[in-house]
Every structure is written in structure tokens, then in C-alpha cells.
Chains A and B, each alone.
Chain A
Amino acid sequence: MRAERAAAAAFVVSLLASVALVPWYFAGGGPRGEGILLGLALGGLGAGIVIWAVALMDTPEVTEERAVHFEHDTSTVPGTVTVARRTLLVRLLGGAGVTLATAIGIPALSLGPRPGQSLFRTLWTPGARVVDGEGNPIRVSDIVPGQVITAYPENHPGSADSQTLVVKVAPESLALPEGRADWAPEGCVAYSKLCTHAGCPVGLYRAESHELLCPCHQSTFDVLTGAQPTFGPAARALPQLPLAVDDDGYLIAQSDYTEPVGPSFWNMT
């Protein structure tokens, strides 16, 4: 009766562990003790039952005939009334049903606004000062080369879709696309921080190779060439914010971004 003794021991372990759980809880608990005691309580019970079933039950193997080979049943029950075909009614019934389903489904549109222009715009406006996360305006002379600053339009620090990276590089090293010659005063370039692939904040900067790196899918962008992608799954450059310096030496935006920021969508061009 070794099996019986083993099953009994397992049940006793379970019982003791369950009893111990109570004072443990009232003494303040803690995941380790709870996990171990609960595991012993459940495991003892389970082990005991399995030992009982496997070693102490003499269950014969039985054979059951499989009566289920289903056939397509074409018989009709006597007394069933058949519905006469009325084409007009059937069509109208279908039409009314579909219309009703559509009408009932329409309120689902309340779930969200139409995208409208919101994907094409950010909060940057012409002349908006560039501020840091605390809302302090950034002076062009305060930026240290090699440093990357997460910046926002004034009055909107923390804005999710306007978040922008400002980096200062040697002006002569820049090779920006045509028409952007006056977008980078004193070598200060600003790019949208939202990755053009899956929209993650492009949070890493390798100063020695002038590369911005997205932590999500490792898309890499070259700061010197207008944030053209150089590696990874992003296919589009990070949009560049045209910068200028105002009379007090603060960085300002010349305008909003000239293309949508963040992940692409079908009608963006």
C-alpha cells in the first residue's frame, strides 16, 4: 500500500500548507511564501488525486462503437408546413435586414473622430519658440554639440505629436536636401522624434556617427543628411522642422513640419 501512503502524504502536505497560508496572510503576506504555500496546497491535492487515479484505480480499457458517421439527412418530418417561395418578400426581407444592420451599426462611428487634418498637423506654428521638457526656451548658444534635446513648441511641453529632437553639429558637415539651407541656424537641426516606421520616440543618439536610433525596431537615421534612414525598417526620413533664431538668440520654428510626422498612412502624399 505504498501508493496509498504516498497519496495520503500528499493530501497531508496540502492540508498543512493550506493551514499555514492563513497565518502567513495575517502576518503580512509576501509573494514568495504565498507562492510556495499555495503551490504546496494545490500540488499536494493534485498529486494525491493523480496517484489515487493511476495506482489505486483499476480501470479497464473499454471499447465504444463509433456510431457517428453522419449522413446528410434529406427526409422531411410529416406535418411540416413548407414555406411557399415569394420572391418579392424574400428580397424585401433581406434588404430590410441589411438596412437595419447598417442603421444599428452606424453609432459605432461615435467611437472616434474623423482623422481630418489631425495627422497632417502638429502644434508647431511659425515663430513658436523651441522649449525643453520643462517649458524653458532654448537659446541657440546653450546647445552643446553632440547633445540631443527633446524639444516642444512653446506652451506645449510634453506634446506627443510635436516632440522634436534638436541636435547641434558643425554647419559645414551638414548635407541637407535641397531647399533646406536656411533651416539649420548655426548647425542646429531639428527632426520629429516620432519614428516614421511604427511611431516610437527615436530616443538614442550616437554622436560619433551622427546617427539617431529608434529603440523599438532599430531604424537608424543620419542627422547630417536630413535624417535619411540608413538601417532598419524605416523607409522615410524623419521630417525636419525649419528652425531660425529670434532677436534674443532663442530657437524658433519657421513653420510647422512640411510633411506628416510619425508612421505613414495611405493618403499622406
Chain B
Amino acid sequence: MRRPQPVRWVDERLGAGHWARKALKKVFPDHWSFLLGEVALFAFVILVATGVFLTLFYRPDAAPVIYEGPYEPLQGQEVSAAYDSVMRLSFEVRAGLVMRQIHHWAALVFMASIVVHMMRVFFTGAFRKPREINWLVGIGLLLLALAMGFTGYSLPDDLLSGTGLRIAYSVLISVPFLGPYLAFLFFGGEFPTEGIISRLFVMHVMLFPALIIGMITAHIAILVRQKHAQYRGPGRTETNVVGKALWPSQVFKSTGLMLLIAAVLAFMGGLIQINPVWSYGPFDPTTATAPAQPDWYIGWLEGALRLFPPVEFTVLGVTFPSTFLPGIVIPGIAFTIMTLWPFIEARLTGDRAEHHLLDHPTDNPMRMAVGVGGLAFFVLLTLAGGNDVLAVTFDLGVESITNFLRIAIFVVPLLSAGLAYRLARDLSKVG
């Protein structure tokens, strides 16, 4: 008598064979740009793996301790238990530093792949009916990833991350009517508070990852239900999907891709220093460093704060602080437009039909112009976030760079949007 194989064992209990056979035959259109979302997914896997390791050593505790580790410049200095544990991870825990650095690099790659994936979806019109819901889920994932990044780099409780938290507190407090209450609820009192580190920790290792996993699941489930969109080509129509089956080629390629991304991140984590918290020193509420740079995906928010003119006004006794417009209103408008874009575009073009064939970016000049202009705006704000670094690099005064960017932030996005529009229009005429 033959013993049942594990596959048969499972199949006889769950009836999964039919479902699995169908899943393995799922068709993937073969194009490099469809791998960008996968890169984000794999970076997330690496973040979870390295993050679990870090969690076992990190202490979410702001209580003061005396640093007695091997890093001489800080010996005998009072630091928080959180900072102390990150120092121990970096200098005493074997493989601790490489895990920390892979984790940080993976976070930067995670954000970058999300943004580039989103650009692919935007410029090819992949958000159009019936995929608006998945666009919204994607925006949710983008916001969660930003929240993960911000809470994560605040955890080491070093001088740089403390400065970031302080700015976040000041922006939050600027909200009319609610600001002080929101800031006191979130931080547990007036900045700096002892409790914030453990709160950020819970969000970073439990709340946000759970939400991200849930939303990734929804993102992929919707993708499977609706099937892939595809680029135009011979034999490809609105009513079919042309590509390769999940098994074996896509499984092999995706597994290989995941391992290659992990390899690149391992090289980076081992060879390129990132976030050297020992050289920043522990957080001290009476000091700030210059030049202080946030991680790249926060740069545009920082840039808006640096670039915005000093505008603070009081209407009927209600003060609108100088950080309110650049810190709350501008990002709010940017995210609202991004979130609602599928519906805005449908209204502008009147096109409410279903689309499974993707556009070439130049097929739709208006969308091209909005996307390119938006990107230019984002890039300029990011540059403004590093105006002090630019000043040192190009040996110019920070004032002149800021004044220049204050004009460029209007001119360059409009100009590049106009150029993109004309280019797209001319190219689509040729085509």
C-alpha cells in the first residue's frame, strides 16, 4: 500500500488541488515594470526578517542610563536605555550592526520601490476602471510605509531622530483648534516626553506592520481577482491576458529576484555605513545638529518647511502658525490629489470605460504633464530639504539657494509640465 504524499494528504482535507492548479496557471504579462511592486514586497519581507532580530535587542525605554560600552567617546555619558541598546546592537551584538544597516537600507529601498511602482501605475493609466480600489489601497500602503519609516528612525533616540520628532511635534501643534490637544495626546505631554519612545515602538513593530500585511494581502487579492493589466502588443486585447504562467517561470524569476534584492541589501548593509547613531550622539533637547538630513522620503516635507516664507497670521483670535501651511496644508493637498487622481482624471477626460490595456506614458499628454510637474515639485522640495548641504557643496550662501528655490518651485514644475505636455502631444501625433 502506498503512503499518501503530503500533497494528497492536504488535498483530501482542504480540497485545495483545484484552487492551487488554477493559481499556478495564473498568467503574468512579461515586462520589467511589473516587477517594481514585487521589489517593494521583497524589501518588506527583508524588513520583517531583520526587524525581528533587532526587536530582540532593542529596549523601548527613555529612562536614563550611563553608557559603559566599548565606544570610547561616549563612555560615562548619560544616554537613554533605548540609545544604549542601539549602541549595544551596533558594537557588541555579533551581526547586530549588519542587521541594523540592512534594515535601514531595506527601508530606503522599500520606499523607493513603492514610489517608482506608483509612477509606473500612474503614467500607464493602470489606475483606471476597474483598478481604482487598488490605487486607494496603494495610497494607504504608501502612507503606512511613510509612517513606518518615520517611527523607525525615531527609535534609536539619537540627536538626529530627536530633532525629527521635535519638528513633527511642532507641525502637529500648529493645527488650528486641535493642535495642542493632538500633540499632547500623541506625545503624552509637552515635548520632549519620556513616553513617546515606547509608543513609537508599538506602532513600528505591531500596529503598522499588521496594517501593512493586511493591505498587501488586499492589494494582491484584488490584483488576482481583476487579473493583470498589460501593455499593447500583438494578440493583446482588452479581453485577454498574454503572458507566462506562474509556474514555473514566474515562481523561479520572482524567487530569484527576491534573493538578488536581499543580496544587494546585504552588500549595502555590510559595506556602506548608514545612520551612525554613535556619531550623532544621544538626544539632547537643548542641542540640534547642522546639517541635519532626514531619510530621503521625508526630504520633501522638510523642504516645504525650509522654503515656505514666514507666514503666520491671526484671524478672529485664531493663530495660523508658520508651519501650518507648509507642514499640514501643502502635504494634505498633495496627498488628496494623489488619492483622488483616478476620479479626477475620469472627470476631466470623461473616460469612464474599463481599461485593461495600458497606455504608453505619452498617450495622454494631460496626465503626463500633471505627473511630470508633480515630480518636479517633489524633487525641488527634496532639494530644498538639503539646502544647507547644497550650500556647502556648491560653496554658496544658504540664503541665495533658498531664494533661488523659492522662485524655482513655481517656475520649474510649470515649465516641465508644459514641456512634457508638448512632447507627449507631438509624440502621440507621430505614433
Chain A: residues with CB nearer than 8 A to chain B?
A: 25, 28-29, 31-36, 38-43, 45-50, 52-54, 57, 59-66, 68-70, 108-109, 111-115, 118-119, 133, 150, 158, 160-161, 163, 193, 196-201, 203-204, 214-219, 229, 231-236, 262-269
> Once the chains are docked, how many angstroms separate the CA of A119 from the CA of B25?
62
Give chain B residues whose Cβ lies under 8 Å from the Cβ of A52: 252, 256
Give chain A residues whose Cβ lies under 8 Å from the Cβ of B311: 235
Give chain B residues whose Cβ lies under 8 Å from the Cβ of A42: 259-260, 262-263, 266
A158–B241 touching, CB < 8 Å: no
Give chain A residues whose Cβ lies under 8 Å from the Cβ of B286: 133, 150, 158, 160, 163, 193, 201
Also in contact, A198 and B256, with CB within 8 A (given A63-B242, A112-B188, A266-B318)? no
Give chain B residues whose Cβ lies under 8 Å from the Cβ of A28: 94
Cross-interface CB contact of B260 among A47, A161, A197, cutoff 8 Å: A47
Nearest 3 A-B pairs (CB), nearest first? A35-B270, A46-B259, A43-B263
A64–B227 touching, CB < 8 Å: yes
**CB 8 Å contact bits of B1-45 with A (1 = contact, 0 = none):** 000000000000000000000000101001000000000000000
Supplied contacts A54-B253, A64-B27, A264-B323, 10 more A-B pairs, CB within 8 Å = A53-B248, A53-B252, A61-B244, A66-B238, A201-B287, A214-B288, A216-B167, A229-B310, A235-B322, A236-B322
> Once the chains are docked, how many angstroms separate the CA of A33 from the CA of B252?
28
Also in contact, A269 and B270, with CB within 8 A (given A109-B185, A199-B169, A264-B174)? no
**CB 8 Å contact bits of B223-246 with A (1 = contact, 0 = none):** 001110000000100111111110
B296 within 8 A of A: no
Give chain B residues whose Cβ lies under 8 Å from the Cβ of A233: 305-310, 322-323, 326
13 sample A-B contacts, Cβ–Cβ < 8 Å, listed by A number: A33-B270, A35-B98, A49-B256, A111-B186, A193-B286, A198-B170, A201-B288, A203-B290, A215-B291, A217-B302, A236-B312, A264-B174, A265-B319
Cross-interface CB contact of A197 among B102, B170, B249, B388, cutoff 8 Å: B170
Give chain A residues whose Cβ lies under 8 Å from the Cβ of B176: 266
Give chain B residues whose Cβ lies under 8 Å from the Cβ of A70: 130
Give chain A residues whose Cβ lies under 8 Å from the Cβ of B244: 59-62
Give chain A residues whose Cβ lies under 8 Å from the Cβ of B75: none
Give chain A residues whose Cβ lies under 8 Å from the Cβ of B310: 197, 219, 229, 232-235
A29–B94 touching, CB < 8 Å: yes
> Once the chains are docked, how many angstroms separate the CA of A108 from the CA of B402?
41
B189 within 8 A of A: yes
A31–B387 touching, CB < 8 Å: no
> Once the chains are docked, how many angstroms separate the CA of A268 from the CA of B176?
11
Can you name the residue of chain B whose Cβ is closest to the Cβ of A219?
B310
Closest-CB distance, A95 to chain B (whole angstroms): 25
Give chain B residues whose Cβ lies under 8 Å from the Cβ of A262: 170
> Once the chains are docked, how many angstroms separate the CA of A266 from the CA of B244?
58
Give chain A residues whose Cβ lies under 8 Å from the Cβ of B312: 235-236, 264
Give chain A residues whose Cβ lies under 8 Å from the Cβ of B291: 215
Can you name the residue of chain A whose Cβ is closest to the Cβ of B306?
A217
Also in contact, A265 and B98, with CB within 8 A (given A35-B269, A46-B257)? no
Cross-interface CB contact of A62 among B239, B242, B289, cutoff 8 Å: B242
A265–B184 touching, CB < 8 Å: no
B263–A46 touching, CB < 8 Å: yes
Also in contact, A62 and B189, with CB within 8 A (given A45-B259, A236-B322, A263-B321)? no
Can you name the residue of chain A whose Cβ is closest to the Cβ of B164?
A216
> Once the chains are docked, how many angstroms separate the CA of A224 from the CA of B28?
69
B191 within 8 A of A: yes
Closest-CB distance, B318 to chain A (whole angstroms): 5
> Once the chains are docked, how many angstroms separate the CA of A233 from the CA of B304?
10
Within 8 A of A (CB), among B152-198: 163, 166-167, 169-171, 173-177, 179-181, 183-192
B379 within 8 A of A: no
A264–B322 touching, CB < 8 Å: yes
Closest-CB distance, A26 to chain B (whole angstroms): 9
